[in-house]
Amino acid sequence: MSGNTVTKPDAKYKPRLLQDYRDRIVPAMKKEFNYSNNLAVPRLLKIVINMGVGEAVTDQKVIEKCVKELSMIAGQRPKINKCRKAISNFKIKKGMNLGCNVTLRRYRMYEFLDRLISVAAPRIRDFRGFTPRAFDGHGNYTFGLREQNIFPEVEVDKLDRAQGMDITIVTSAKTNKEALALLKLIGFPFKG
């Protein structure tokens, strides 16, 4: 066997948020939107976390630090994004590393969302909730964070600078209203 074996999670283990979705959220959504069965209820498909690193143009070592921090936050190694074409006005060459992103699915997605809602969001300075108007019309919600140090996995003493990130929550909802109701029942902190 190779050294890169993947360990499967315990068969009895289920993330707290997933269990809550099955026990409480599915019946509530069925009642509110009159779905015929459980499979018609919208669910989370994936969460995409993206870090664009503009400083990587002058210092490529910044990308390595961002990859390390994002892997600690997400629990999964991110993919490094390369520039597709050269842009001379921004001093960008083709193939240059300019950011990183990670796509979370299944258990890791629920674990990350649970940590975001219960631990990280309350640590945001002057936080009053996320805007409910950031849906894309197809049930997906995108928001940005200004600093990565709101996550407890990141060691604040070792940070050189604050790095923001964009987070997209992709759902199977057909409309924004269904996706908003789903995220509210999950406990996502919206304004108002």
- What CATH number does residue 104 fall under? 3.30.1440.10
pLDDT at 73 over 50: yes
Give me the pLDDT at residue 54, please: 66
Q: What are the tens digits of pLDDT across the range 24-68? A: 999 998 988 888 888 889 999 999 988 877 665 566 677 778 788
**Is 127 a domain residue?**
yes
**Is 41 a domain residue?**
yes
Structurally, the chain folds into a number of domains equal to: 1
| Domain that residue 34 falls in | 16-186
Q: What are the tens digits of pLDDT across the range 120-172? A: 877 787 878 888 888 888 888 888 888 777 887 777 667 667 778 888 999 99
**Is 176 a domain residue?**
yes
**Is 6 a domain residue?**
no
Give me the pLDDT at residue 101, please: 87
Sheet containing 165-171: give its strands across.
Answer: 79-82, 97-104, 44-52, 165-171, 141-145
Give me the pLDDT at residue 1, please: 46
**Is 10 a domain residue?**
no
Separation CA 179–CA 15 (nearest Å): 21
**100 three-class SS:** strand
Separation CA 71–CA 108 (nearest Å): 12
Residue 75 falls in which region: left (phi positive, over 0), alpha (psi -120 to 50) or beta: left
